[in-house]
């Protein structure tokens, strides 16, 4: 039995001495070096990829040969007849390699016999199509580019352990074409998003990841320490306050950042402590403009990355074609739970109503927190098709302008698809006195035990006192959007290296 015929479990934590598969490969490595072959050379010049060759020779008849001399490189994924036939995979696809004594020297044939599945090789040779129709390169020279010391998982079962796929993403990407396509589509989503905004006059900017005050969202931050300055710093939970400072300064009327945020919270299929968002601000716009912009961005990236606006997620059909419905939070709660929170005047009565709907409350929640809890418990998971939920309570939205008709509410919306929030947007609060009062209310809530209440940022209030123009702001969750566009059940599927619990 060949060494690679043994079932290899890549999760085994074995030493060099007691792993027979690795030991065989180390022996081959030594044999290669004894032959004067460097198993890890510096470079290899190639002039073709598998997909290019397949496209270029799509009309090549079975049994036909060409005079095209190519240099290709990739990973060995299968070997047959003692290496006479090799399936070589590169980033674009697969091509067969034919290694025969008619075309290779004795030394080259010895090298081929020392190759294993998983090795990276470069091949020089002529292109032909076999009588069975397989596009093939007749190898005239084979170069070892990297000797793989660990066998790949057994090919017929692949890398089935979900946890192992996330911990050893490199193996997952080697073995699972779907994982590669998911992360490539993520890249197309981000590229399409960026191109869309740049074409519309937005300026891309960068703001700090290390903050002296954790602001811009209701969340628990990660805390670190700067030794030289002997000061506590917080990993960014949101870029909002810095981005609006740039608008105050007149850097541009339209700015955006595709940014990494960090929140010291739990793990779930939809939550990772480190995640990516698009955040943008546009002067002289309001939250209704942001609704239209959200629809345009999502539709554009869906077309660019998934080829259309009709998706299937988890077997559910979702239609992304704009425009999307706009419904208030209180209206949806009244429709799905039968309680009209707008008719409730005080916080205690709102808490009682929320408790009757099955909401778990601490007992000191405000009117707005009770409405939000009722919405989360009775409405969220029913919002399958895209919808903008408006009419958020003022007391849970300290950075949004007050509603023009009801002072209990603000001009804010969240966009839901498949029961998830994918976007959050405001007419931005630009009254510095109102902003200070909102921050002070947040500080009182923090003192009462709300760990996610936002602290007062004096410098941000100072910036507002110099004048922030009327402004619309939008945050869009890139990870969740990619989940929808790739039919991925977990956020860990769309993040190359997700945060995982210790083994």
- Mean pLDDT, consecutive 10-residue segments, the chain of 503 residues? 44 62 96 97 97 97 96 97 97 98 96 97 98 97 98 72 90 94 97 98 98 91 96 97 98 98 93 97 98 98 96 97 98 98 96 96 93 97 98 95 96 98 98 96 85 90 98 98 97 96 84
Q: Is the dihedral of CA 37, 38, 40, 45 positive or negative?
A: negative
Residue 193 tokens read as 């998003």
Whether 474 and 403 map to the same domain: the answer is yes
Q: How far apart are CA 89 and CA 1, in angstroms?
A: 25
Q: How far apart are CA 203 and CA 320, in angstroms?
A: 27
Q: How far is CA 119 from the centre of its chain?
A: 29
Residue 247 tokens read as 């608008």
Whether 121 and 198 map to the same domain: the answer is no
- Tell me the pLDDT of the chain averaged across its residues: 94
Q: ∠ CA 253-461-367 to the nearest 5 degrees?
A: 100
Whether 72 and 188 map to the same domain: the answer is no
Residue 314 lies in a domain: yes
How many domains, in total, are found in the chain?
Answer: 2
Which are the contacts of 179, defined by CB distance < 8 A and separation ≥ 6?
Answer: 165, 169, 172, 173, 493
Instruction: Judge if the upstream peptide bond of residue 323 is cis by omega within 30 degrees of 0.
Output: yes
C-alpha to C-alpha distances, 190 to 142, 223, 243, 259, 416, nearest whole angstrom: 38, 28, 19, 11, 20
Whether 142 and 282 map to the same domain: the answer is no
pTM for this prediction: 0.92
Element (H, E) at 77: strand 65-80
Residue 378 lies in a domain: no
Which are the contacts of 32, defined by CB distance < 8 A and separation ≥ 6?
Answer: 39, 111, 114, 144, 147
Whether 200 and 117 map to the same domain: the answer is no
Q: How far apart are CA 15 and CA 27, in angstroms?
A: 15
Which residue bears the tokens 């030394």? 107
Residue 367 lies in a domain: no
Residue 161 lies in a domain: no
Contact (CB, 8 A) for 426 and 243: no
Last residue of a domain, one of 97, 126, 146: 146
Whether 435 and 319 map to the same domain: the answer is yes
Beta-sheet strands, E only, within 159-209? 203-204
Q: How far apart are CA 390 and CA 372, in angstroms?
A: 12
Please write the tens of the pLDDT for every residue from 287-308: 999 999 999 999 999 999 999 9
Contact (CB, 8 A) for 263 and 273: yes
- In terms of Cα–Cα distance, which of 199, 146, 216 is closest to 439? 216
Whether 112 and 194 map to the same domain: the answer is no
Beta-sheet strands, E only, within 130-264? 135-146, 203-204, 210-211, 223-226, 231-235, 254-262
- In terms of Cα–Cα distance, which of 459, 448, 375, 445 is closest to 412? 375
Whether 312 and 455 map to the same domain: the answer is yes
Q: How far apart are CA 476 and CA 421, in angstroms?
A: 9
Contact (CB, 8 A) for 151 and 3: yes
Tell me the residue range of the domain where 299 lies: 177-325+385-493
pLDDT at 5: 40
Q: How far apart are CA 76 and CA 72, in angstroms?
A: 12
Contact (CB, 8 A) for 154 and 134: no
Q: How far apart are CA 153 and CA 174, in angstroms?
A: 10
Residue 343 lies in a domain: no
Whether 187 and 137 map to the same domain: the answer is no
Q: How far apart are CA 402 and CA 430, in angstroms?
A: 11
The radius of gyration computed from the CA coordinates of the chain, to the nearest angstrom, equals 29
Whether 212 and 95 map to the same domain: the answer is no
142, with CB counted inside 10 A (0-12, 13-18, 19+), is buried
Contact (CB, 8 A) for 252 and 246: yes
Residue 352 lies in a domain: no
Whether 186 and 303 map to the same domain: the answer is yes
Q: What is the CATH number of the domain that holds 287?
A: 3.30.930.10
pLDDT at 12: 52
Residue 296 lies in a domain: yes
Contact (CB, 8 A) for 309 and 320: yes
pLDDT at 155: 62
Q: What is the CATH number of the domain that holds 48?
A: 2.40.50.140
Residue 27 lies in a domain: yes
Q: How many helices (H) and strands (E) does the chain have?
A: 14, 20
Contact (CB, 8 A) for 274 and 260: yes
Neighbours of 177 (CB within 10 A): 12
pLDDT at 235: 97
3-class DSSP state of 417:
strand
Last residue of a domain, one of 146, 165, 188: 146
């Amino acid at each position: 039995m060949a060494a690679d015929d043994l079932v290899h479990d890549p999760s085994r934590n074995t030493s060099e001495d007691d792993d027979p598969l690795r030991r065989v490969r180390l022996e081959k490595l030594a044999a290669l070096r004894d032959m004067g072959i460097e198993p890890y050379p510096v470079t290899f010049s190639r002039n073709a990829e598998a997909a290019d060759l397949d496209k270029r020779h799509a009309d090549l008849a079975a049994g036909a040969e060409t005079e095209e001399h190519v240099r290709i490189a990739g990973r060995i994924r299968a070997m047959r007849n003692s290496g006479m036939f090799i399936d070589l995979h590169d980033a674009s696809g697969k091509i067969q390699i034919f290694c025969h004594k008619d075309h290779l020297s004795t030394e080259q044939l010895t090298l081929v016999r020392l190759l294993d599945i998983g090795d990276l090789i470069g091949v020089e040779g002529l292109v032909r199509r076999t009588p069975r129709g397989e596009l093939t390169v007749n190898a005239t020279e084979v170069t070892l580019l990297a000797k793989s010391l660990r066998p790949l998982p057994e090919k017929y079962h692949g890398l089935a352990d979900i946890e192992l796929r996330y911990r050893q993403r490199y193996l997952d990407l080697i073995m699972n074409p779907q994982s590669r396509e998911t992360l490539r589509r993520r890249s197309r989503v981000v590229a399409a998003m960026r191109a869309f905004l740049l074409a519309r006059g937005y300026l891309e900017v960068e703001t700090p990841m290390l903050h002296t005050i954790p602001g811009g969202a209701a969340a628990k931050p990660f805390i670190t320490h700067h030794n030289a300055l002997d000061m506590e710093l917080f990993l960014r939970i949101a870029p909002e306050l810095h981005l609006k400072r740039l608008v105050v300064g007149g850097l541009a009327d339209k700015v955006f950042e595709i940014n990494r945020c960090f929140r010291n919270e739990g793990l779930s299929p939809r939550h990772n402590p480190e995640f990516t968002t698009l955040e943008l601000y546009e002067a002289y716009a309001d939250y209704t403009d942001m609704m239209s912009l959200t629809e345009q961005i999502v539709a554009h990236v869906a077309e660019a990355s998934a080829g259309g606006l009709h998706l299937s997620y988890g077997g559910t059909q979702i239609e992304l074609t704009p425009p999307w419905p706009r419904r208030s939070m209180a209206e949806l709660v009244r429709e799905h739970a039968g309680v009209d929170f707008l008719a409730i005047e005080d916080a205690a009565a709102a808490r009682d109503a929320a408790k009757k709907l099955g909401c778990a409350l601490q007992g000191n929640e405000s009117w707005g927190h009770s409405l939000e809890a009722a919405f989360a418990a009775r409405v969220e998971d029913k919002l399958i098709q895209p919808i903008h939920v408006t009419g958020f309570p003022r007391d849970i939205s300290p950075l949004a302008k007050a509603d023009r008709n009801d002072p209990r509410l603000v001009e804010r919306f969240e966009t839901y698809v498949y029961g998830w929030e994918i976007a959050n947007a405001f007419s931005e609060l630009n009254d510095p006195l109102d902003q200070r009062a909102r921050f002070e209310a947040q500080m009182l809530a923090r003192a009462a035990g709300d760990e996610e209440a936002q602290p007062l940022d004096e410098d941000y209030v100072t910036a507002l006192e110099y004048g922030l123009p009327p402004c619309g702001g939008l945050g869009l969750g890139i990870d969740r959007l990619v989940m929808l566009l790739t039919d991925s059940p977990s956020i860990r599927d769309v993040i190359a290296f997700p945060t995982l619990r210790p083994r």
